[in-house]
């Protein structure tokens, strides 16, 4: 089913020890290549026996768990595992972007444990033997420029499993931050659409970077719908605004009501009575309160579906208070891509919304 519009028929963060800018344990003195690899990928360096046991299971439980709100499960991170021998056999594997190095320091025969000891340095390695709370460190550019390496280590597998669980929130945040440049490049491969950016600026008092690959599907009153269509994905960004009268307009319920209004008014199909609605039956709705560029914001995440056609996907919904104009800006980002992975594309849309800058 091709989605249509009625008027335009187009379809515990933990603190990790931080090393010097040259990269903890960096051994290369010559020119380094630039790191390769895709965003949301984590390369694990661990002994084969460690990875195939409880430690590997623990790591995959956290880092490979389901990304929220997807109709079909997709992992938070794509995980690859190598031993040091794997890196020796294929040296290009040393030129990837994001590594997590797992070491049981009790295993004195482990090459990885010895490498961690060297990378930490004598003083810090001695600390690992005396301080049970010192279990992590961060390095950069060990084998290539633009790398980040997270070292997780402990004396014994049981303790290492605990370290993985406690470290996950902090590492996930750092990995996402590390991916921001690559994420931005994946969106803005071409020029910005200055015309559409001016529409957003004039109508909503904010500047949001709009890729040239997007078109305007609909502009009616205070509502503007942008979308990008290709052979596999339909990416949608919808903005609306209302005068601000009460805090209730910033609530989760207000966002749901606005999405319901938008869905029944503008999104339909060939099936009579078909409309876009939020699916609150099969998957949960997540809501958050945050600030975007200093503006009070409520965000909800969930799945949308059509009431008649068999079509669904993830969405983000926002209410953003523009104190300069005493208005509430509502925004919705959603994707239609049956049978395709959607995590990276949803992150692109989220990145666009979070790029906003308020106009004076």
Separation CA 110–CA 105 (nearest Å) = 8
| Residue 199: closest CA among 222, 180, 178 | 222
Query: Euclidean distance between the first and final Cα of the chain, in Å?
Result: 43
pLDDT, position 190: 65
Cα separation, 22 vs 17, in Å, equals 15
The stretches in the chain having pLDDT less than 70 are 1-30, 190
Q: How far apart are CA 323 and CA 208, in angstroms?
A: 17
Q: Are 334 and 350 in contact (CB under 8 A)?
A: no
* Tens-digit pLDDT profile for residues 256-298: 999 999 999 999 888 899 999 999 988 889 999 988 888 999 9
pLDDT, residue 9, reads: 28
C-beta separation of 146 from 182 below 8 A: no
What pLDDT score was predicted for residue 360? 72
- Tell me which residue has tokens 């319901």: 260
Residue 131, classed as helix, strand or coil, is coil
pLDDT tens for 2-32 read 443 332 322 333 334 333 333 454 555 568 9
CATH code, residues 17-178: 3.30.379
DSSP structure class, residue 281: S
pLDDT reported for residue 22:
34
Sequence ranges of the domains in the chain? 17-178, 190-358
Using CA atoms, how far apart are residues 327 and 271, in angstroms rounded to an integer? Answer: 36
Residues 6 or more apart in contact with residue 3 via CB below 8 angstroms = 11, 234, 267, 269, 276, 306, 311, 336
Backbone angles phi, psi at 61, to 5 degrees: -60, -40
* Residue listed under structure tokens 């550019």: 141
From the list 300, 347, 293, the residue with the least C-alpha distance to 321 is 293
pLDDT score at 88: 96
How many C-beta neighbours within 10 Å does residue 132 have?
Answer: 10
Residue 268: its pLDDT value, please?
87
Q: Which CATH class is domain 190-358?
A: alpha beta
Strand-pair partners of 192: 211
Can you give the pLDDT at residue 181?
Answer: 87
pLDDT at residue number 30: 66
Write down the pLDDT at residue 231. Answer: 86
């Amino acid at each position: 089913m091709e989605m249509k519009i009625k008027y335009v028929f187009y379809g515990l963060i933990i603190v990790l020890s931080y090393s010097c800018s040259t990269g903890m344990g960096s051994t290369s003195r010559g020119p380094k290549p630039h790191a390769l690899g895709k965003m949301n990928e984590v390369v694990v360096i661990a002994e084969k026996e460690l990875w195939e046991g409880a430690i590997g299971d623990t790591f995959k439980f956290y880092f490979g768990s389901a990304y929220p709100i997807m109709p079909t499960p997709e992992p938070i991170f794509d995980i690859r595992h190598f031993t040091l021998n794997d890196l020796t056999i294929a040296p290009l594997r040393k030129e990837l972007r994001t590594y997590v190095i797992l070491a049981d320091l009790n295993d004195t025969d482990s090459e990885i444990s010895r490498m961690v000891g060297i990378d930490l340095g004598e003083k810090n390695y001695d600390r690992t033997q005396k301080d049970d709370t010192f279990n992590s460190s961060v390095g950069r550019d060990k084998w290539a420029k633009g790398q980040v390496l997270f070292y997780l280590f402990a004396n014994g597998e049981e303790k290492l499993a605990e370290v993985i669980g406690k470290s996950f929130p902090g590492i996930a945040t750092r990995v996402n931050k590390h991916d921001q440049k690559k994420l931005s490049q994946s969106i803005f491969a071409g020029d910005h659409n200055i015309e559409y950016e001016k529409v957003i600026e004039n109508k909503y008092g904010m500047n949001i970077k709009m890729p040239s690959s997007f078109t305007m599907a609909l502009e009616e009153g205070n509502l503007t719908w942008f979308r990008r269509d290709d052979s596999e994905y339909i990416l949608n960004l919808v903005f609306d605004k209302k005068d601000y009268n009460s805090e209730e307009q910033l609530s989760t319920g207000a966002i749901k009501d606005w999405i319901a209004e938008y869905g029944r008014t503008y999104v339909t199909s060939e099936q009579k009575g078909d409309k876009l609605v939020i699916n609150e039956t099969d998957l949960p709705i997540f809501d958050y309160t945050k600030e975007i560029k200093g503006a009070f914001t409520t965000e909800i995440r969930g799945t949308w579906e059509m009431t008649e056609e068999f079509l669904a996907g993830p969405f983000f919904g926002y209410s953003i208070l523009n104190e300069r104009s005493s208005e509430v800006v509502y925004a919705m980002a959603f994707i239609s891509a049956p049978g395709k992975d959607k995590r990276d594309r949803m992150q692109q849309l989220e990145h666009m919304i979070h790029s906003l800058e308020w106009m004076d």
